[in-house]
Amino acid sequence: MSGSVTSVFGEPEDFEAALHADGVVSLLVTGHGRFRARLTQVTLHGLRLSAGDEYLPRIASIAIPADTVLVSLPIGSGPWPVWGGMEMQAREIITLGPRQRVYARTRGPCRWGVIRIPGEDLVQYARALSGAEFVVPPAARWRPPRAALRQLRSFHGAAVRRVEARSAVLADSEAAHGLEQQMIEALVECLSAGPVEEETGTAARHIAMLARLEDLLQSEPLLGIAGICAALGASERTLRECCSEHLGMAPSHYRRLRAMQLVHRVLRSGSPDASSVTAVARRYGFRDLGRFAANYQALLGELPSVTLRRGSHRGVTALTSGPATREGFVTTLT
């Protein structure tokens, strides 16, 4: 179907932009080295499928759209992303309901798959196929019947492979519709036994606090931990516990990595704001420039001066050759 695409990325910002449709608000790489990722996105009729291959650990802030349920599948051999503090196992799936805000983090090389389905469609299909009422939980872990999960993973994998192979099969409307119906039936069967874990009241409060933290750091990236706690109305101990569970790190470490990311984006942008490494680093709170450069190189695989030179060339290219294209390659199935 139109809109199905496979892309390879060499910059986290481009990968983040491609994941916006899946609800990704921001993506922060937390491991050292050069970034690489591959993403396949499949558009059927009501369903949207994605499959990703990543090589560095990262944290993604996700806001599920108002009309969408996101289903996370275990593809590959694991480990898989931790969604909202819930660690998915090989025989499990995780669902996130409309408007849910969570962090999804990986701890190294990772393969993952997701399905996006309109929430009302899922409720109606579940009612029609099972004869029972179905309520979409805000966040839940499920342990489906093995045959149903095997089918769901098989259909998801078949759709992804056809797009990656540039197959014309999914361009046929009837074939795409048939695959979608099979996937929905398998998904409803996976959810038929009910969740094995749902979001608790405490977890909901922690998620709400971290959503406010994300908004706060967007508007005030240099705010210290004491100021953050005061703005959130939370103790430092509570904030540390939330960040450890959902981010896998202390809030001060998360704040520093975000500041490093902001420096990288400005240096890479080729904009007039990227006048010098020193000016940009100090703008985001880095005072020890020698230590900053060493940490930057360890995290991103190059010195900040190299990023600045690449950004300057990119800006010239954009001015002389039109808009910059996504790094890597893109294949589209229409």
CATH number at residue 215: 1.10.10.60
Same domain, 182 and 242: no
Q: Specify which residues 330 forms β-bridges with.
A: 7
Q: Which of 142, 173, 198 is the last residue of a domain?
A: 198
Structure tokens at 100: 């849910």
Helix, strand, or coil (residue 93): strand
Same domain, 116 and 211: no
Same domain, 46 and 113: yes
Number of structural domains in the chain:
2
Helix then strand then coil, in percent of the chain rounded to 5, is: 45, 20, 30
pLDDT the model gives residue 322 = 35
Same domain, 176 and 220: no
Rounded distance between C-alpha atoms, residue 126 and residue 135, angstroms = 9
Q: Which of 198, 228, 257 is the last residue of a domain?
A: 198
Q: In b/e form, how buried is each residue of 126-142, taking b as 16+ CB within 10 angstroms?
A: beeeeeeebebbbbbbb
Same domain, 159 and 287: no
User: CA-CA distances (angstroms) from residue 329 to 6, 10, 25, 90, 146?
Assistant: 8, 10, 23, 31, 36
The answer to whether residue 120 sits within a structural domain is: yes
Same domain, 211 and 135: no
Same domain, 246 and 300: yes
Same domain, 22 and 114: yes
Q: Specify which residues 38 forms β-bridges with.
A: 8, 53
The answer to whether residue 326 sits within a structural domain is: no
Same domain, 165 and 216: no
Task: Write the pLDDT tens digit of every residue in 262-316.
Answer: 999 899 887 777 778 999 999 888 989 999 999 999 888 889 999 998 877 654 3
Rounded distance between C-alpha atoms, residue 302 and residue 299, angstroms = 8
Q: Which of 148, 163, 198 is the last residue of a domain?
A: 198
Rounded distance between C-alpha atoms, residue 291 and residue 298, angstroms = 11
pLDDT the model gives residue 314 = 56
The answer to whether residue 237 sits within a structural domain is: yes
pLDDT the model gives residue 130 = 82
The answer to whether residue 24 sits within a structural domain is: yes
Task: Write the pLDDT tens digit of every residue in 46-63.
Answer: 899 999 999 999 999 999
Residues (pLDDT < 50) of the chain are 315-334
Rounded distance between C-alpha atoms, residue 113 and residue 29, angstroms = 19
pLDDT the model gives residue 63 = 93
Give this prediction's pTM: 0.84
Same domain, 157 and 53: yes
Same domain, 232 and 259: yes
The answer to whether residue 147 sits within a structural domain is: yes
Task: Give the CATH number, domain containing residue 96.
Answer: 2.60.120.10
pLDDT the model gives residue 168 = 64
Q: Determine the structural domain holding residue 91 and report its residue range.
A: 4-198
Same domain, 148 and 208: no
